[in-house]
Amino acid sequence: MTTPETPDTQVFRPSPAARQRTILWGLIPAIPLLFITVTNSVAQPRSAPVYLGVLLVTAVLITVFLIWYVRVTRLEFGGGRYRYVTTFLRREFTVDDVERVVAVDELHYGLNGARALFIAGRVRRRLLRMNSVAWDTPQLEAVINDLVARGVPLTHVAGRLTPGEFHRREPGLLWWFEAHRVAFILILVAAMLLLVVVVIVVLLAVLASAAVVA
């Protein structure tokens, strides 16, 4: 479905402050890698340059991806039509597809917390999720007000909730692993380790190619 633009279409993009927040919070999963790097560097000083190099390359790759992500991300809405675009996602829907909007004062994952907005669909359980890390509060308010003005019911969840608490209250709006802290952490760590393995393999391949050429 292609969502045509209307004269009152608004286009929201992350502000410079929101872009900085997204990049900083996106680097949080690299903290365990930093700990591993420091520990291994102390235990094996001769290998310290290798560990530091892998850490640096991994951090650069994550940062480059996050910069690309915030540059691409946008939300277009107007006339009861909505189009949300990110690096890997493009979702379009109309107000008729929306069952209700859920606004959470603070959804806290342990190291960070943010205001969250969920748009629940009549068929698809979750059409859209936004938060105050990637978006400014006035932008979230504008989306909520637009939906409410078009007759969409609003559910306001007050206070500070963990993902598990929110999942029990509003099942289906979070991914299953987000609602279980241990699973969430394990998946993040596994993703980081996988990225590290890829970086090491690429570095070894580059070094091997350089050795052959020499």
Q: pLDDT of 33-88, one tens digit each?
A: 677 777 766 777 776 777 777 777 778 888 888 999 999 999 999 999 999 999 88
Predicted confidence at residue 110, as pLDDT, reads: 66
Predicted confidence at residue 213, as pLDDT, reads: 60
Predicted confidence at residue 63, as pLDDT, reads: 87
Spell out the domain ranges in the chain. Answer: 16-70+185-213, 76-179
b/e 51-63 (16+ beta carbons within 10 angstroms → b)? beebbebbeeebe
Across the chain, which distance is largest between two alpha carbons, in Å? Answer: 70
Predicted confidence at residue 54, as pLDDT, reads: 75
Predicted confidence at residue 2, as pLDDT, reads: 46
Predicted confidence at residue 184, as pLDDT, reads: 65
Alpha-carbon distance 97 to 138, whole Å? Answer: 24
Predicted confidence at residue 190, as pLDDT, reads: 73
Predicted confidence at residue 61, as pLDDT, reads: 83
Query: Which residues lie below 8 Å from residue 134, measured CB to CB, with a gap of 6+?
Result: 14, 18, 21, 22, 70, 73
Task: Quote the distance between the C-alpha of residue 168 and its chain's center.
Answer: 22
Predicted confidence at residue 146, as pLDDT, reads: 96
Of residues 53, 1, 24, the one with CA closest to residue 112: 24
Consecutive H or E run containing 167:
helix 163-169
What parts of the chain have a pLDDT lower than 50? Answer: 1-3
CATH number of 76-179: 2.30.29
